[in-house]
Amino acid sequence: MTAAIDHLDNLVAIDTSNPPRDPVGMKQAVDYVSEALACAGFDCSLDDLGEGCLQLLATRGSAGTLVNCHLDTVPPASGWMSNPHKLEIEDAHAIGLGACDIKGAAACILAAAGATQGDAAVLFTTDEEAGQSLCVRRFLDGEHARSRFERAIVCEPTECHVVCEHRSLHSIEASFHGVSAHSSSGVASTMSAVHNAIRWSAGALEWSESTCGDSRISIGVIEGGRKPNMVAESATLRFGVRSRAGVSSEEMLQQLRALPYGSDIEWTSRFFGPSLLPGDHVRVIAKILDVQCAPPVDFWTEAALFAEHGIPSVVFGPGSITWAHAAGERISLAQLDKATTSFRRLFSRSKDSTP
């Protein structure tokens, strides 16, 4: 517990907000975990993909299970009542930016690595919050990934339960086009790109609430136009679609295109992450970690990318998703203790150990 809190204190103090991704902060964080793991007998290999996008593979022995954890965080939300980069312990919780998502898990990994001598493998990355997953995708494109590892544990806040199923995520940019004119001309109702973007958005939200069942749509950004007295000639809208596991997001997008004003939209896919589906590996990993399985979650994780590349994967980590990306982000000390214990069990094994 003490080692995990010390590591978390040091990690929270390093600004790894993303975006913007500061190469200096990302390098400091990677150097910190690399030094800690080297002291624990790990061989570390760093791949610099540029602009602060780093991946560190650390191995000890010939582990069949790979643990993946990102070191980047979102920027501090408004409403912080303390310094987000100074860890505080209050009411049996550790408070600091990234404490829950997901530097708490990183701290537990380092504490467990330093207290064990078994086979272990950890992949640290710095670009998960950017919505690109370049580090993991590049790692999985390597020839050795699928042949070397039998399974993967991807760290995200699951309250120390094993999660084996989650939704897909499809991020779309929609561009609306209009005709510039003076707003007094009366053509704004039909020719304004902003008006049409709002109309389509209203229809999409109504459709989402009444038609698309358990799938989700979230409109995150609407921007366009120049001045109140000018009819907007262009507008851009960015939204995300989260389909439950096994449901095609493309079917949802076809229905969204069929809505009023949808046929005049220029559609651009910005990111797609597949859903994660359960398998027989879940029982094995849960037994190794000595934790319970949990129902499907709504948030997307990079575990789906490992699974897509033939490496059976689950999601596991300390902390609650309700505190991720929130002002006053925190994680309970009990969760840190439990996760450290689970990682110690994993890192104490040899590759050939029977679960």
Active-site residues: which are they?
128
- Asked if the peptide bond before residue 89 counts as cis, ω within 30 degrees of 0, the response is no
- List, as own/partner pairs, every contact residues 247-251 make where C-beta atoms lie below 8 angstroms and the sequence separation is at least 24, other chains included: 247/168, 247/215, 247/275, 249/168, 249/170, 249/215
Per-residue HEC secondary structure of 16-47 comes to CECCCCCHHHHHHHHHHHHHHHHHCCCEEEEE
- Asked if the peptide bond before residue 76 counts as cis, ω within 30 degrees of 0, the response is no
Beta strands in the chain (DSSP E): 43-48, 54-60, 65-70, 88-90, 93-95, 120-125, 151-154, 162-163, 169-177, 216-224, 234-242, 266-273, 293-294, 313-315, 330-332
Contact 347, 118 (CB under 8 A): yes
What is the identity of the amino acid at 22?
D
Residues near 187 by Cβ (< 8 Å), separated by ≥ 6? 179, 181, 231
Please report, for residues 63, 165, 213, 277, 279, the alpha-carbon distance to residue 151 in angstroms, rounded to integers and kept in the order given. 10, 15, 32, 14, 11
Contact 232, 190 (CB under 8 A): no
DSSP labels for 176-217?
EE----BGGGS-HHHH-HHHHHHHHHHHHHHHHHHTSTT-EE
Among 41, 60, 29, 215, CA closest to 125? 29
Contact 152, 162 (CB under 8 A): no
Q: What is the rounded distance in angstroms from the CA atom of residue 157 to the CA atom of residue 267?
A: 33
